[in-house]
Structure 1
Amino acid sequence: VAGMLAVPPALFLEGIAKDIFQSGFYLLLAWATIEEVVKYLGAHIVAFRSVCLDKSRCVDEPIDPAIYMITAALGFAALENTLFLLAPIGQGSFTAGLITGNLRFVGAMVLHVVASSSIGLAMGLSFYKSAWAKRIYFLIGLFTSIVLHTLFNVFIILSEGDNVFVVFGGLWIAVLVVLAVFAVYGLQFLLFWRYLRGRRESKIGYRGQGTAFREKEKLTFCFPFQ
């Protein structure tokens, strides 16, 4: 939902950018910047500010920011793809709409996931770091997402689709990298959870009490820009 809510303001700002830059590389860069920033703001405001008042409960693991960002990206891409499909279908060309939908799925959908996951993974890598480190990592993640988005636009639009399969192949390789990072995060979480469980059991045995002794490991997370 957060990603879908980000589509209307993104379209409005992209219209302004088109009036300013008309066409060319700077227009593609502006579009990429607008979409990545708006997607992040949608996830930040809706997922963290409005729905989840206790941020420490919604973001209590390093992988959480990436999950929220990818979810927002999927919502954004779903509504954006739907709007792209309405034009050919509205003109009575169902076949063209079907082809457009398939290309949008293997291209734009994957692009949004990879780009937004760059921001989320960067935030996750700085989970236990200082506030300034979180800001730096966030900016690196945002810069990476904008670069990836811009390169996709350049290769697809300016090359008139000549490199479409090369670009799509690169995107899917990026997806494999993201999945590998998720696997590493999952393994780290499993090992950390087993470590905490072992500590708790050792404390219970040491105290020799009939009731369980609970130790809370408080993990705090602050957003890059409060």
Structure 2
Amino acid sequence: MDVETVGVDKRKSTPWAMIALWCVLAVALLGSTLFTVPMMLLSGTGFLIGIVFVAAYITAVTALFRLTPMWPRAPKAWYFSSLLWGGALALGAALLVGGSVTSLVAKLGLHDAGASFGGAYPEEIAKATGVAVILFAFPALNRPWHGFVTGGLVGLGFEAVENVLYGVMGGMLDPNSDVVGTLQMWGLRLVVGPGLHAVFTSIAGLGIGLAFFRSGWGLRKRIGVGLGFLFIAFAAHFAWNYSWGGTIWPIVWLVLVALVIYPGFAYAWWRCRKEAREDAIRGRGAPITSVELL
């Protein structure tokens, strides 16, 4: 994934994308607030515990990205818009659409794949759309690995808020203690598939970053790579959510899928980090971007 560079300091500003981004996020934030408040009232203890865990979770994952040369020199608005898109808009879209998709799949008799379609279909598309919009909106984002990092943050926002909601439900379901139920749910979420949404959307984001910022590619290749990486993220999410019968095979299946997902993410991380370090050493300006042609 060697990057060809030219003597350009930064991309041109795209104010229309920035305006559209913040308008959409404002509406999504309002909608998610209306949904979150009732959950908070149902288990205030579970909600407060979730906020503490979320703060630690976001801080830790952000530090992993920030302490690498992949981290872009972008304004703080980029960081917060990425988290908001995942935690408000993408999650809201998934909650609105996911149930209907699951019901439709069940009516078709594909009961084992209900969670796969209900999760992977709306969630990965909504998150990847956010990555594309955010890459358009901020001119400081001009490298393929910026799509990787942006995807990670969008997925992080999604997973953080989703974990809070699951924690609240765990607190409600425990007959004895909201605290115990919330901690058990958080423990399960952190042990079984930690960071999966960040992983999925990082992969999709890398494909979008390559499609936008790789120089010397034709339009067909850009579209193919962008959609190809999105399909990989979709397929990984689909496989992870697939429901198998029995007691042992579902566990074995999750282990097998994890042995594909996490090493693949680690390899993408290594390649992006390597390119970002080499690019920082060269310091020859921004690459030619397809974004500039739109």
TM-score normalised by structure 1 residue count = 0.74
2:79 is the counterpart of 1:79: no
2:245 is the counterpart of 1:162: no
2:165 is the counterpart of 1:96: no
2:9 is the counterpart of 1:9: no
Separation of aligned partners in 1, 2:225 and 2:232: 10
Q: Who wins on radius of gyration, i.e. which is larger?
A: 1
Matching of residues 1-226 of structure 1 within 5 Å: 1-5=84-88, 6-22=90-106, 23-25=111-113, 27-45=115-133, 47-48=134-135, 52=137, 55=138, 57-91=139-173, 92-126=177-211, 127-128=214-215, 129-154=217-242, 157-158=243-244, 161-163=250-252, 164-165=254-255, 167-168=257-258, 170-193=260-283, 196=284, 219-222=288-291
**34 and 218 in structure 1: CA distance in 2 versus 1, 3 angstrom threshold:** closer
Q: Which runs of 5+ in 2 are unaligned?
A: 1-83
Aligned residues: 195
> Do the aligned residues in 1 keep the contact of 2:170 with 2:184 (CA within 8 Å)?
no
Q: CA deviation at 1:140?
A: 0.3
Equivalent residue letter for 2:149: I
**120 and 218 in structure 1: CA distance in 2 versus 1, 3 angstrom threshold:** closer
Separation of aligned partners in 2, 1:217 and 1:173: 30
Q: CA RMSD in A?
A: 2.6
TM-score normalised by structure 2 residue count = 0.58
Helix, strand or coil: the match of 2:233? helix
Q: CA deviation at 1:165?
A: 4.9
Q: CA deviation at 1:4?
A: 1.0
Q: CA deviation at 1:86?
A: 0.6
Cα-to-partner distance string for 1:136-155 (whole Å, 9 max, x where unaligned)? 1111011100111111112x
Equivalent residue letter for 2:142: D
Q: CA deviation at 1:218?
A: 6.5
Cα-to-partner distance string for 1:71-107 (whole Å, 9 max, x where unaligned)? 1000001111111111121343422321321221244
> Do the aligned residues in 2 keep the contact of 1:119 with 1:138 (CA within 8 Å)?
yes
Equivalent residue letter for 1:77: E
Equivalent residue letter for 2:278: Q
Q: Which runs of 5+ in 1 are unaligned?
A: 197-215
Higher relative contact order (CA 8 A, sep 6+): 2
